[in-house]
Structure 1
Amino acid sequence: MNEKLLVISNQTKDENLFKQILGSKGFDVVTKPVFEGIEDMLLNNNFGAILADYDQVGELACSWINLLQENGSKSCVILYGENKKAEKISEILQAGAYGFISRSNISKRLHETILGGMENRKAFVEILGMFNTLKNVNESIEREKEDLRKKNQELSFINRLTTEVAYDLNWSLILPRVLNAGFLDVMNPALLGMLYRIGSKWNIAFHLSEKEINKKIIDRLKKDMINKFFSISGERVSIKDTDFHLYSSSIKISSAGAIPFSKQIIMPLSLAGATLGMLAILPENNEKLNDEKMELLTTISNILSMSLKNAQEYHKLKEMAVKDGLTGILNRKGFQNFIQKEFHRAKRYHRPLSLIMIDVDNFKKINDSLGHQAGDYVLLELAGCLKRSVRQADIVFRYGGDEFVILLPDTDMEQAKLLLKRVLSDVEKHAFEWESNPMNVKISCGISTTGELENHEDEKDLISKADTRLYSAKRSQDLKYCMA
């Protein structure tokens, strides 16, 4: 039976084009105009994919996506239309659409995008199936209490893992996040390894239960991971260009014996036919995993695959953002792009988001007395100092003039205060010199966090609170920063 596709468009030429492209590839194409009551049709028909002309349906597409998600639909949504800016495409994908195809690329990309979208949706359905299976076991099998306890433990782990990695767009600490979610409680492996790429940088991360390991074994672990990844993806990775991370509570580098490799279980981190990375598991005592454990590993790899894809797309967006010509950091436009997305993400996942606004004290005096080149020097040095002081997931922006902003994802007020104290200390220690003469450069700061906002307040209120507190600190001769 052919897969059914729904095309929502008022243009007859779209129907002819899609049938011409897809009719010979085993798809039944149904075309409908935009009409009242189309929501019922979306829910009551088992469409493999729904394609909508975004130029015609506009924001209706977002409400349809929400409707399909709320009703557990297996259909994926793909939008097409005239070329859109990168920011708009990112907004469409954030809303839940699988992809956006410009009209000029429909003939080239339509078929592969539909296949990728249906595979992507299948991964979501597998995860939902895992939740439903565990729920049914919890309700119906009273006599198998030990098995039920393990199932509940796995369900709890999946919930925590989803929460941990769904918000992680950085992936610098992805393996500790997996461990924090309780991975060792449900799998207890001798070795857990991950290989993945963010931007152009490849990373290998390991957790070992061994108490001792030598450098030769570490090198072999790296080489083995890279070779296995090549065998499943066909992509070569250079060890020299790879960052390595080793995690364990009490591991020592020594002349310990070898770790067996033959029993490793390899799980590709793949989405829409593309292999993005790899998960490697070596069960304790070379234990053979049963079908239920393998199913759990499949679910874990699906969750990590989607998280990795989001992190890679986020990195691309971050690189595309406009940068300040003087300092090389993101400018105000880049800040507006990021804070809207980060605020929405923090609200959606109930995670904190904090913001620090920074202003150079007496900057006009520096320009007037030493010249604008000296002022530019101060801004350039300060930007570098701020970037070195913050964490990898934090983002530094030049807000305008002598004002800077630091955006702190997944950070509450107490954590933001600790980071700000480090920033202030680093700036105070930094040697600002102009024409071999030391300069006395000081900054004032204001902090705000989403935890103090009312339900109706948004990212503009977050900025306003930090800005108000910044100027409260500037008016005070004693305060370096203000938080309330």
Structure 2
Amino acid sequence: MNASIPDNNAKNDPGSEKLSIGEYGPRVSELTELLSACRDLSDILNPEELYAIFVGIIKHKFKVHRLGLFVYDPETETFSLVFSDGLGKLEYKFKIDMQDLWQTILQDEPFAVVDDSGNPLFTKFLEKQDLEILPSELWVPLVMRGEVMGLLTLGSKAGDQPFDDFELYFLQQITAQAAVSINTCRLYERRRQEKEDLDKTLQNLSLLYGIGKAMNYISDLKKLLQYILKQAIDIASAEKGSLMLYDIESDRLKIRVLAGLVDTAYQDRVNNNEIKCRSFKPGEGIAGRVFLNSQPMIVNNIRDDSLFIKSETSFVRSIACIPMVVYNDVIGVINVTNKKNGKEFNDQDIKMLKAVADQAAVAVNKAQLWDMAVTDSLTGLYVRRYFMVKLQEEIHRAERYHKQISVIMTDLDRFKYINDSYGHDAGDRALKAISQFLIKNIRDVDAIARYGGEEFVMLIPDADKEEAFRLAERLREELGKVKLDNLPPITMSLGIATYPTDCKDMEELINKADAAMYAAKQAGRNISVKYSEHIQIVRDKDGSAMADDSV
């Protein structure tokens, strides 16, 4: 083993040697090889490709058994092994904490790390940095304009032959080019990342503009919440998320919508309010803390944060929580979880999510106020007044496009018995359950309202009387299968009328559906009746339509 470096004052300049005529040919060939190698390295912009080709050139040229390429990070002052041959899959990292060794590296010349007997020259340093197992005899610095880029470590050559002057010159020149190429790769990657960040920022700004416009046109609260959450997940490059709203009556944060779950069936049931997720008190968990403090929060490793409330089904690695604030009041929290591609949430994510949350809070607040105005507080169905507005709009549309629309009037049979026998709380629970059943079993284009007490009315666009009757019968039959807590089965009577077959205006349509429903009551209850001319409409004392008892 011999890694000694020939002593000469020409810094390994092969031009200082006197060559015979027979030696010029091989030397020209080697210089041509060096020029070609340098040219190959100068064209590479991918770091991994650069490392592989550079190490391959060295191995092919010098038949070295073991070698390693370290790249220097000036921020951490650390050399990291990025490519190796013959060292196995080892992860080496070390710092140069010896001033004389660092100065040796800055000389930008190959230097031996073992003596002629193979004993280490920097024993204390190698022991301290745990580099004794790194089999190397020669280190070659990669330096560009006084800035260290890396370090090449070489084991022994084939036959344990020492490096001659021209080989050292070759090493010095090829590593100098490698240093330049590494710096070029870094600059290219930095510019590429800057461009990517700029493109991402422009894309997000455009997205924010689109979000703001879209929110102005979504009045349905559930659809608005789903839209907001989807945009938040996309803008933060997250896998999934949830949106919580504060419920003042229970003093809790409640999950209103989920997105991105693998189990879409479960997600849909939560979004349809069929499953109640865990709620949080202000200050409880990460979301509760964000709500209480009105400040965003990032946790990139939930295992290290005691605030995170673990769940066997959450599968959360990292989370970013943003409060939704309107008029200095926090109305909810947006949670996005698991940054994609193993990355971490950062301040830029918070900045963009906050912009989404600020717009969302205003839109949600408006939607909540609208929701309170048009929906029944107990059942969540439309109120009668808003239903009539929608019905009038549908009649105008039916007139314009020559369509039919049907109305189904529904009344729960003997519901007074439920209230009297089981209490009004039980009656309220039954109304809620039946309302959710009806919502779930009609189309999105249909509309349903609480018409009064235990009476409901449904608007079925683009449906003739037979289609509406089939729907009414299906609802009637399926309601009998709905299990109500500690209550007997509840049935309902339904009446169907169709525009323009049965009537000429909205009031007449409602009256005839109502009369058909009363006819169903008089026929024994728990049936569906289509309006016909044989059903005579009479007026009750309050002016509401009823079927003539004589029918």
Rg: which structure is higher?
Answer: 2
Query: Which one has the bigger helix percentage?
Result: 1
State TM-score, norm by structure 1: 0.38
State TM-score, norm by structure 2: 0.34
